[in-house]
Amino acid sequence: MAAFLPTMRVAAILLAAGQGRRFSAQTASPVAKQYLTLGGRPVIRHAADALIPHVQILQPVGERASLDEALSGLRAPSGCTIAPCVPGGETRQDSVRAGLEALDRLPEGEKPDLVLIHDGARPYVPAEVTRAVIDALSAHGGAIPGVPVADTIKRVRDGVITDTVPRTDLYRAQTPQGFRFGLLRDLHRGAAASDATDDAALLETAGHHVAMVAGSEDNIKLTYKEDLVRLERLIGPTLLPRT
């Protein structure tokens, strides 16, 4: 295993093509959530800073002008390239596919062996989480971080509980999610791609093993206003106009 990972080229697709509709509906934010300034830097910039020490290629996906501005101060360490950003698509999966196809257009020899898919709205990913995902790819086609579900889960129909779902085996999935690059690219090109809820599901359906590694309760995705409150405690204050 020790000989396996150092020879692997790792790329990260940084997703920033979403509209942040749930967040905007709750706040008066004039900018999409991934571009909000938190602790002096845009959310997406924090995500890029967290990923870049682990990868050889960073591939941002989203609207070019906003991404170029948000990532303008980012300096890649030697041996790492920040690829020109590519536009995303209608759905998250369309945006992932756009990133995969951009990486596949790289010359032979520069294409990655492994690819991480990361939510640009997830700014506080601990280094050990990203490391664990990459390490697990020495033995698996895919690996995702997650945290055990702590709450009791109830299934409800028409306002009435029908049953209690045993939570022992349940995890909340996070990103970055890691995959063998060629495997994920080929599955995305296949017919099942449009039905999958996430990239791990594409592998699961095709019968590939996807490992679950330890995520972090701090690896918060900015989805609702309350997530911003938790992220402010970890990172610093936001410039969001208060409502």
Q: Which residues make up the interface to ligand CTP (CB under 6 A)?
A: 15-23, 34, 61, 88-92, 94-95, 119-121, 221, 223
Q: Would you say 91 or 164 has its CB closer to ligand CTP?
A: 91
Q: Taking the mean position of all CA atoms in its chain, how far away is CA 134?
A: 13
Asked if 180 and 206 touch (Cβ cutoff 8 Å), the reply is no
Q: Would you say 57 or 220 has its CB closer to ligand CTP?
A: 220
Pairwise CA distance, residues 221 & 231, whole Å? 9
Asked if 37 and 239 touch (Cβ cutoff 8 Å), the reply is yes
Least distance in angstroms from the C-beta of 44 to ligand CTP: 8
**What one-letter code names the amino acid at 55?**
V
Least distance in angstroms from the C-beta of 143 to ligand CTP: 19
Strand, coil or helix: what is 26?
helix
Least distance in angstroms from the C-beta of 161 to ligand CTP: 27
Asked if 65 and 52 touch (Cβ cutoff 8 Å), the reply is no
Strand, coil or helix: what is 147?
strand
Cis peptide before 84 (omega within 30 of 0): no
Asked if 149 and 72 touch (Cβ cutoff 8 Å), the reply is no
Least distance in angstroms from the C-beta of 3 to ligand CTP: 34
CA dihedral (148, 152, 155, 156) positive or negative: negative
Q: Would you say 13 or 134 has its CB closer to ligand CTP?
A: 13
Least distance in angstroms from the C-beta of 131 to ligand CTP: 21
Least distance in angstroms from the C-beta of 174 to ligand CTP: 11
Strand, coil or helix: what is 3?
coil
Least distance in angstroms from the C-beta of 230 to ligand CTP: 15
**Which H or E run contains 202?**
helix 199-205
Q: Would you say 138 or 171 has its CB closer to ligand CTP?
A: 171
Q: Would you say 120 or 142 has its CB closer to ligand CTP?
A: 120
Q: Would you say 21 or 209 has its CB closer to ligand CTP?
A: 21
**CA distances to 87, 151, 152 from 165, in Å:** 40, 10, 8
Determine the residue with CB nearest ligand CTP. 18
Q: Would you say 22 or 230 has its CB closer to ligand CTP?
A: 22
DSSP code for 188: H
